[in-house]
Amino acid sequence: MSGDGRESGIVLIAGPTASGKSALALDLAEVLDGTIINADSMQIYRELRILSARPGEDEEARVPHKLYGVLSAVQSCSAALWRDLALNAIADVRAEGRLPIIVGGTGLYFRALLDGLAPVPEIPDAIRREIRDLARREPPERLHERLAARDPAMAARLQPGDRQRVARALETVQATGRSLAEWQAMEGEGGIGADERLAKIVILPPRETVYARCDVRLKAMVAAGALEEARRLEEMALDDDLPAMRALGVPHFLAVVRGEMELDDAVTRAQTATRHYAKRQLTWFRHQFADWARFEAQQDEMEFEKIISFISKQTSVL
């Protein structure tokens, strides 16, 4: 890498689960003297190494990694918190003279980093507790009705089953008197500078390839100890509404731990849920990241060289 990490720009690699983006980031980091920074909302939790498909110890030993397993599952990582952590990580990586390579599948995190976030005020703890208690006690349809009465615009955007987002919209309108839609329409704050040199890459393999990888990955997780990881989560007695408890596969394996489901059934259901999630991600990234360079991941040396060439044109790493 020519120059130093503080001048060379930033590489961003987004894509759906099981797309091969983490393997690509690892290879790029070795070639470009890079440090990998996590942009996956589940890989940030230390208790989910297996169930979030976090890089293994061998991979972490090959190049430096940041923001993997840095929060406890008892916490809820917001896009704002991740953005602040990521900005600090980028500064640290550059101070070490290395290239920041940000990789993950959480599109909102990339948006928060690049565009900033709407200036929604902090919600008072008393209101947050009140709404979260309602969300736990009431059926999702009733909570959604409450939102529709207070904030029809957000209710029209959200499904009743999306309990966390419905609660977020309800607590916002109760605390501020304004729709969350109004706040979100405001110009974002706190993103990275507009003068940054960015190599923005989105990995979009064929859908059937992603589906097949999802199925294989779930079976590999079981062999690696996913059930034991779920059992440790159960022992922590966490609120089921916490993000870590809703990670792909976690509800299904928790059902096995609780004696509510057979393991084979849990694996099949988790595979189906993961494929559905990957489908939504593929659609979202195609539409929302239309200005990013698209690749099918690193299929061969020629494809890798194309990616290297693109990064070189967008930054000054070579």
Q: List average pLDDT for each run of 10 residues in the chain, which is 318 residues long.
A: 58 96 95 97 97 95 97 93 96 95 96 88 88 90 95 94 89 94 81 86 94 95 96 93 92 97 97 95 94 82 90 85
- For residues 73 and 216, membership in a common domain is answered with yes
How many C-beta atoms surround the C-beta of residue 258 within 10 A? 11
In a domain, 300, yes or no: yes
pLDDT at 6: 43
State pTM to two decimals: 0.86
- For residues 136 and 281, membership in a common domain is answered with no
> Of 141, 162, 184, which residue sits at a domain end?
184
pLDDT at 2: 39
Dihedrals phi, psi of 71, to nearest 5 degrees: -120, 155
pLDDT at 188: 74
In a domain, 2, yes or no: no
In a domain, 293, yes or no: yes
- For residues 111 and 214, membership in a common domain is answered with yes
- For residues 209 and 89, membership in a common domain is answered with yes
- For residues 92 and 135, membership in a common domain is answered with no
- For residues 173 and 71, membership in a common domain is answered with no
- For residues 196 and 166, membership in a common domain is answered with no
> Of 154, 184, 214, which residue sits at a domain end?
184
- For residues 86 and 144, membership in a common domain is answered with no
**Domain CATH number, residue 280:** 3.40.50.300
In a domain, 4, yes or no: no
In a domain, 1, yes or no: no
- For residues 175 and 237, membership in a common domain is answered with no
Q: How many domains does the chain have?
A: 2
CA distance 192 to 188: 11
Long-range contacts (CB closer than 8 Å, 24 or more residues apart) made by 82-90: 82/39, 82/41, 82/44, 82/106, 82/109, 82/112, 83/109, 83/112, 83/113, 83/117, 83/190, 83/191, 84/190, 86/37, 86/39, 86/113, 87/113, 87/192, 89/37, 90/10, 90/37, 90/192
Give which of 104, 285, 299, 309 is closest to 199, Cα–Cα.
309
> Of 136, 157, 184, which residue sits at a domain end?
184
- For residues 30 and 79, membership in a common domain is answered with yes
In a domain, 263, yes or no: yes
Query: Positive or negative CA dihedral for 180, 182, 184, 187?
Result: negative
- For residues 252 and 154, membership in a common domain is answered with no
**Domain CATH number, residue 140:** 1.10.20.140
- For residues 197 and 175, membership in a common domain is answered with no
Which residues constitute the domain of residue 303?
Answer: 10-117+189-314
In a domain, 5, yes or no: no
In a domain, 26, yes or no: yes
